[in-house]
Chains A and B, each alone.
Chain A
Amino acid sequence: MPMQDQFNLQDLQGLDPEMISAIYDRYFPEVYRFVCYRLNNEHAAEDIASDVFIRLIEALHASRGPQSNLRSWLYATASHIVNDHLRKTYRQPQSELQEMIPDKAAALDLDYERQDVENRLKEAMTVLTEDQQYVLTLRFSQGFSLEDTAITMNKNVNAVKQLQFRALSALHRILNDRT
Chain B
Amino acid sequence: MNENTLFDNLEICLQNLAKGADLETCLKLFPGQVDDLRPLLIAALEAQNAIVKGIPEAVQKRGKERMLLKAAELRATDKAVVLSPKNNKTTWSKERFYRLAVIALVVLAFLLSGGTGLVSASSNTLPGDRLYPVKRSWEGVQLFFVVDPNTRTTLQNGFEQERVHEIEELYAEKRFEQVNFTGVVQSCNLNICIVEGLQVITPAGKTIDPAIVAGSMVWILGETDDGLVEAEKFTLISGSAPSTSIQNNEVPPTGEAKEDLMEPTESPDAIETPEATEVQEKNTLEPESTLGVNPTPEKEAGSPTEIKLSEQSTSESTQENDSNTKTTNEGG
Contacts and interface: CB of A to CB of B under 8 A. Distances in A.
Interface stretch (A2-10, A73-81, A90-98, A159-167): A159-167
A134 interface: no
B88 to A, nearest CB: 18
Counting chain B residues whose Cβ lies within 8 A of the other chain, the interface size class is 35 or more
Main secondary structure, interface of A, reads helix
Contacts of B51: 33, 37, 140-141
A24 interface: yes
Contacts of B75: 14-15
B14 to A, nearest CB: 7
Interface in A12-57: 14-15, 17, 20-21, 24-25, 28-29, 32-33, 36-37, 46, 49-50, 53-54, 57
A58 to B, nearest CB: 7
B66 A161 contact: no
Counting chain A residues whose Cβ lies within 8 A of the other chain, the interface size class is 35 or more
Interface string A103-141: 000000000001001101110000000000000100111
Interface stretch (B42-50, B140-148, B259-267, B310-318): B42-50
B64 interface: yes
Main secondary structure, interface of B, reads helix
Contacts of A117: 46, 49-50
Interface string B291-313: 00000000000000000000000
A118 B43 contact: no
B63 A121 contact: no
Interface in B1-55: 4, 6-8, 10-11, 14, 18, 39-44, 46-52, 55
B52 A33 contact: yes
Given A54-B70, A140-B48, A168 B40 contact: yes
B102 to A, nearest CB: 26
A49 B62 CA distance: 11
Contacts of B48: 140
A139 B10 contact: no
Contacts of A172: 39-40, 42-43
24 contacts: A17-B72, A20-B68, A25-B64, A28-B55, A29-B60, A32-B52, A32-B60, A33-B51, A53-B63, A57-B70, A58-B70, A117-B50, A118-B50, A122-B50, A136-B47, A141-B47, A141-B50, A141-B52, A158-B4, A158-B7, A161-B8, A161-B11, A171-B46, A172-B39
Interface of B: 4, 6-8, 10-11, 14, 18, 39-44, 46-52, 55, 59-60, 62-64, 66-68, 70-72, 74-75, 78
Given A15-B71, A50-B62, A54-B66, 4 more contacts: A21-B64, A58-B74, A140-B44, A168-B10
